Amino acid sequence: MMTFHSSFHTEDRDVLDYLFQVQVQLQAPSPPALPASPANLPPPPEGWLDQFLAFIYTIAHWIGGLIVGLVENIIPLQTPASLIDPIGYLALLTVFLIVAEVAKRVVWGVVVVGWILIGVRVALEVFQK
């Protein structure tokens, strides 16, 4: 047990004792990790397309797991594990569509500003002569 300066209140001591215990638990050595056996690992993707698709799958799986976890924390519902990947892919498609829609609006803005600037340039040429 740690000793504290006398100006600490009882609640402060309790909090500090708790924090000290948490710190000791966090500093405890973790058990050594078991080495991965090459027989248990799937073969790595060969080409760039395989690697890209594996990357997309990993992101979709993580996003799906995150969404399912959030829903399970809000609603006491056990979601089947088979829904994690489809939810992740739908979330990725939704993000892609949002980005595409924003890009579409930006491109239309650039086109409109371009036509306005060309119209101003033509008007300046007409009025200067």
Decide: pTM greater than 0.75: no
Mapped to the 3 state alphabet, what secondary structure does the chain carry? CCCCCCCCCHHHHHHHHHHHHHHHHHHCCCCCCCCCCCCCCCCCCCCHHHHHHHHHHHHHHHHHHHHHHHHHHHCCCCCCHHHHHHHHHHHHHHHHHHHHHHHHHHHHHHHHHHHHHHHHHHHHHHHHC
More confident residue, 55 or 24: 55
pLDDT tens sequence across 72-108 = 899 888 888 889 999 999 999 999 999 999 999 999 9
In this prediction, residue 77 carries a pLDDT of: 84
